[in-house]
Amino acid sequence: MRIVLSIAVSLLILGAGAGALFLFGSPPEAKTRDITIDETSGPLVQTVVARDWTTPFDVAINGEAVTPRVVTVAAEVSGNIVTKPAAVRGGRFVHAGDILFEIDPSMYQLRIEETTAQKLQVQEEIRALEVQRRNTEALLALSREDLDVQKRHLERVRDLFQKRSASEVELDEAIRRELTVRNTLQMHQNELDANTQQKRTAQAGLALADAAVRRAELDLKRCTVTAPISGRVVDDAVEQGNYVQPGTILVHIADVQTMEVKCSLRSDELAWIWRQGEFEETSGDTKDPLPVPQVACRVLWEFDGVETAWEASLSRLEGTGMDKQTRTFPCRVLVPEPRSGQVTGSPGGRPGIAAPALVSGMYVTVKVPIRSPEHLVQIPTEAIRPGGQVWVVRDDSIRIVDADVARVEDTYSLIRANASGIRAGEQVVISPLASVTDGMTVRPLGEGTR
């Protein structure tokens, strides 16, 4: 009975559906309208007019300000530190010639007295030798006269002996006297030669004593340690009362008269800089294989919305060449007047803002102005397609041009006009297109310049 009831219900539902279909009929046909597309008009594209670039552009490099040199001041004599001025502390500024430390000078003052006395002693010895020399020279002169007398006497005795007027004993006596005088003369001559050598030795001793005096005076002078340069004290290693020896490091002083900026140049940036300015001549026959022209630039530092600028120049490359890790060229930028900065921008034009000095550790931006010897054209950066292609609209048709990109900035790029064939005044496409072919017809929209 249940099966018969289920079949009856199913047939009833099918009948109701057939009746509804017959009552409402088939769905209405959609109304269509003929649309004619002009395939020759092409898609709409937004373009920007390319324009000549005649002003220098900046190569911006990030870097860190550093001192060009840090001088290490060390003790040159030994002794106790008896004086240390309050200004000799880390971070304080000192001037060249300022007293940094005083080492106990008492021992060196005694050494000066000792060496001075030794010098006087040698001088007196030389004077005594000079007196002795004069006496020896006088005795030598008398001996020569006596020898002449004895020679004449010997000749007379020999004549008398030949005439048998003098005996052999008298002849021997005359010979003995002549030999005695000759011996005395030789002794005085030897004394004179010895005196000469003694004087030379004494003069050498005098020079040695004089050097000892000057050394003692120099050591005494070195007891007062002064600043070799004007600069800022980096650190002070000793205190009053410490004992120091020659070579003990006392203080480090950073030279702040000039400053340098450590930065790195990419190869393309260095290529632009090579084409600027004059190269510094190097002495000798060997030339620098990687010279850097002395190009003027600016160093910028921003703090709390205030921008300060310093005049600078590219000084030199640092190290031996390209850095293996970053593939850049480390270089140094010289800032000759780090305390002569100029405030170039401040929020709201706040008055009374003094330009700070450029100090070590500041992270700065170096801007090198570059003037290209080539004809450049400016276009928006978004106009450069993958592969360095640019879509140029000529006679309402797209021409795909391989651009020779010279410089890419955030909002614009510079193209070498002669190498790319893009002329100022031409329209370049900045809107995206799904498919582009060379010679495709387009409709420029929104022409303008950027």
**Any idea which residue has 């109701």 for tokens?**
16
Ordered by start, the domain boundaries in the chain are 45-53+374-445, 77-103+225-254, 107-222, 259-281+288-370
Report which of 280, 303, 282 is spatially closest to residue 361, judged by C-alpha positions.
303
Asked whether the predicted pLDDT for residue 275 surpasses 70, the reply is: yes
Q: Class assignment of domain 77-103+225-254?
A: mainly beta
pLDDT tens per residue, range 256-270: 889 999 999 998 888
Report which of 329, 294, 301, 296 is spatially closest to residue 315, judged by C-alpha positions.
294
Question: Given pLDDT bands bounded at 50, 70 and 90, which one contains residue 169?
Answer: confident
**All residues at 6 or more sequence positions from 239 whose CB lies less than 8 Å from its CB, including other chains:** 81, 84
Asked whether the predicted pLDDT for residue 33 surpasses 80, the reply is: no
The phi, psi pair for 426, rounded to 5°, reads: -75, 155
Sign of the Cα pseudo-torsion (33, 38, 43, 48, in order): negative
| Average pLDDT for the chain | 85
Question: Given pLDDT bands bounded at 50, 70 and 90, which one contains residue 18?
Answer: low
pLDDT value of residue 285: 56
pLDDT tens per residue, range 214-265: 999 999 999 999 999 999 999 888 999 999 999 999 999 999 889 999 999 9
Report which of 308, 291, 288 is spatially closest to residue 299, judged by C-alpha positions.
308
pTM: 0.64
Asked whether the predicted pLDDT for residue 31 surpasses 50, the reply is: no
The architecture (CATH level 2) of 45-53+374-445 comes to Beta Barrel (2.40)
CB 368 within 8 A of CB 273: yes
